Amino acid sequence: MDGGNYHGPFYQEIGVKDIHLIEPGNQPPQLRENILTIGVILELVKSANKQKLKSSKEV
């Protein structure tokens, strides 16, 4: 089992292999919060990188 896609794309990106062991309701709230925070930060970094690419192409 690879954790499945149903957990959202960023779980695979941060390399959480056994995320299927940490089902909602089964995980400590702090861990869940941290995982969600990492996901949000990753999204922000991704969009920032896209902006950087755009601005460097315009030059």
User: Can you tell me the mean pLDDT for 45-53?
Assistant: 81
Percentage of the chain modeled with pLDDT above 90? 0
pLDDT computed for residue 37 by the predictor: 85
Q: How far apart are CA 51 and CA 45, in angstroms?
A: 10
Q: Can you tell me whether residue 33 is helix, strand or coil?
A: helix
- Please check whether residue 19 is in contact with residue 3, taking contact to mean a CB–CB distance below 8 angstroms: yes
Q: How far apart are CA 11 and CA 35, in angstroms?
A: 8
Q: Name the domain count of the chain.
A: 1
User: Can you tell me the mean pLDDT for 8-30?
Assistant: 57
User: Can you tell me the mean pLDDT for 8-34?
Assistant: 60
Q: How far apart are CA 18 and CA 20, in angstroms?
A: 5
Q: How far apart are CA 3 and CA 15, in angstroms?
A: 10
**Per-residue pLDDT reduced to its tens digit, 34-45:** 878 888 888 888
Q: Residue 22 sits in which domain range?
A: 5-58
Q: How far apart are CA 40 and CA 32, in angstroms?
A: 12
